[in-house]
Amino acid sequence: MTGEELLEKFKEYLEIEKGYSGHTLRNYISDIELFFDYLKSKKIEVLSEDDLNRLEPIDIRGFLASRFRINKSSSTQRRLSAIKTFYRFLLKRALITNNPSEIITSPKVDKSLPKAISVDEVFALIHSIPNDNVLSLRDRAMVELMYGSGLRVSELTAINVSDLDIKNGTLRVLGKGKKERIVPVGSYASQSIDEYLARRHELIKKDTEALFLNKSGQRISTRSVARVIKKYLTTCAINKNVSPHTLRHSFATHLLGSGADIRFIQELLGHSSLSTTQRYSKASIEHLMQVYDKSHPHAR
């Protein structure tokens, strides 16, 4: 197979067998394309799988080193992960016998703490969204649901009407790796969704299961959701960089601050590892210390 054919098969593998999100899939394919370009610059053409079979660890390290000044360590880690996954795919398909990536260790990454906004800022954002037309009703329902249930933006846009159980206040969510979980839907989010559903038909151009639609009647994209939030940030004069993921972080931080158990939060967020959720605990403690330093007369 040619390099292009290998990439196409790899893409199918990531999407169908691994169940990777569209975002991760695009990044991995882009990383392998960059790797191929680097090899080409070193006079190594990837014309077939045999060319990849002949590579050595130094070729992969050279690629990672060539991107070191351009990228953060987290990007370098992801690029190595993409290459390792690519080689595992090739081995699984018996297209190669040699895997030069297996002895290369990932660089250590300083994990940044999740950013969150205050409860008052979340309320200000929600209350800045009017309820005078179907699009604004949709926007309020989306923001309420992201914050109220701690959803990833990709999970939000993937919701179908049939995933909702408003009567019992629950939602079926398909998370990373196509792992399904049930999350609660709060009363405010339920009310906003009900109001939107009453007028959702105004957006429908053809039969669709998607819950949240754009003005063309198609499933709304993750980028469009980000633009919606940015629009209302301006309206309520919150001068911060707030993304859809910030609402998810705020959901977890506010729950933790109210005394919720860390494992309960892990379950709601759909984290496979508790260590991922524990970052919120560290962020909450750091915030607590900042407030203490500013407020207590004997803090300094």
User: For 126-157, b where at least 16 C-beta lie within 10 A, e where not — what string?
Assistant: bebbeeeebbebbbbbbbbbbbbbbbbbbbbb
Helices (H), 44-101: 49-53, 57-66, 73-92
Annotated active-site residue in 138, 248, 249, 254: 248
For residue 199, indicate whether it is catalytic: no
Measure the N-to-C terminal CA separation of the chain; round to a whole number of Å: 67
For residue 271, indicate whether it is catalytic: yes
Element (H, E) at 184: strand 180-184
Distance CA 89, CA 183 (A): 33
For residue 147, indicate whether it is catalytic: no
Annotated active-site residue in 61, 245, 279, 287: 245
Annotated active-site residue in 152, 200, 249, 254: 152
For residue 127, indicate whether it is catalytic: no
Annotated active-site residue in 67, 88, 176, 219: 176
Q: Return all residues near 37 (Cβ < 8 A) that are at least 6 apart.
A: none
Distance CA 74, CA 162 (A): 37
Q: Return all residues near 207 (Cβ < 8 A) that are at least 6 apart.
A: none
Active site residues: 152, 176, 245, 248, 271, 280
